[in-house]
Amino acid sequence: MGNVVVITGGSSGIGKSTARLFAGKGWTVYELSRTGKSENGVIHITADITKPEDVRNGFKMVFETENRLDLLINNAGMGISGAVEFTDPAQAHKIFDVNFFGTFLCCREALPYLRKTENSRIINLSSVAAPLSIPFQSFYSATKAAVNSFTLALCNEVRPFGIKVSAVMPGDVHTGFTAAREKNEDGSELYGGMIKRAVSSMEKDELSGMSPDYIASVIYRISQKSSPKVLYTAGGKYKLFVTLAKLLPTDLSNRIVGKLYS
């Protein structure tokens, strides 16, 4: 019997590349998203990961069909940008609902099934923006820092069941995520144009960033490791940035990040 993986947000970007790669490796692949269709060996299930019933029904459908679940990849996510003081609380709640609570809901529903399958795993998509919090991306950075903390705790909780948990922190990746970001430039005059400069700088890096196929290959390699680490950084220069942030005083590394996006 072949391995079974569920990927959230598998209809585009990193999720779509990852779904195609796993399908090409012979896995049975299910992708959960609000939009999408079954294609290239990937089976689509329509689900909004912020809705508990959608998530519950999706995983129930997979297990009733396959009688196993080997891997959950929590990839679905969204981005917003803008100054903290001008951010609508509803937008802040929304990004946490998708990026953090969506991950929680999927893990919560998947764990009873993962526990029944030997050597099962969870891989969460985080970001370099977790350890290197980006100005005017504060809520995105906060959701990914929360994903890292959640991953570290969950790893220890489910260790006795043999379930392995990791998070992947990509740097800049060239996907449709850039165009889909919900941007807010309120307060631009007050901040002397810093908001637009910071977001433009980041988006320039994204448009020249790594391919989603490369991140998919990183995720696949992690899925094959017998003893995976809890946190991985994807991309050579980003590994250097994250290492330097650990070595430098926090105030200094934070000022450097601020200068890069000022």
Q: What is the pLDDT of residue 142?
A: 98
Catalytic residue among 120, 126, 141, 223: 126
Amino acid at 161: F
133 is a catalytic site residue: no
Residue 143, classified by CB atoms within 10 Å of its CB into exposed (0-12), middle (13-18) or buried (19+), is buried
Catalytic residue among 33, 127, 141, 144: 144
Q: In this structure, are residues 134 and 206 in contact, taking their beta carbons and an 8 Å threshold?
A: no
Catalytic residue among 30, 140, 220, 238: 140
**Count of positions (residues) in the chain:** 262
Each residue's pLDDT expressed in tens, for the chain with a length of 262 residues: 689 999 999 999 999 999 999 999 999 999 999 988 899 899 999 999 999 999 999 999 999 999 999 999 999 999 999 999 999 999 999 999 999 999 999 999 999 999 999 999 999 999 999 999 999 999 999 999 999 999 999 999 999 999 999 999 999 999 988 888 999 999 999 999 899 998 888 888 888 899 999 999 999 999 999 999 999 999 889 999 999 999 999 999 999 999 988 7
Distance of alpha carbon 174 from its chain centroid, rounded? 14
Q: Identify which of 134, 129, 154 has the alpha carbon closest to the alpha carbon of residue 233.
A: 129
Q: What is the pLDDT of residue 79?
A: 95
Beta bridge mates, 167: 124, 231
Q: What is the pLDDT of residue 126?
A: 98
Tell whether the torsion through CA atoms of 42, 75, 122 and 90 is positive or negative: negative
Which domains does the chain carry? 4-260 (3.40.50.720)
Q: What is the DSSP letter of 235?
A: S
Q: What is the pLDDT of residue 109?
A: 98
Q: What is the pLDDT of residue 2?
A: 85
Tell me the CA distances in angstroms from 123 to 131, 151, 169, 187, one per residue in order: 18, 9, 11, 37
126 is a catalytic site residue: yes
Q: What is the pLDDT of residue 1?
A: 60
Q: In this structure, are residues 128 and 239 in contact, taking their beta carbons and an 8 Å threshold?
A: no
11 is a catalytic site residue: yes
Residue 56, classified by CB atoms within 10 Å of its CB into exposed (0-12), middle (13-18) or buried (19+), is middle
Residue 35, classified by CB atoms within 10 Å of its CB into exposed (0-12), middle (13-18) or buried (19+), is exposed
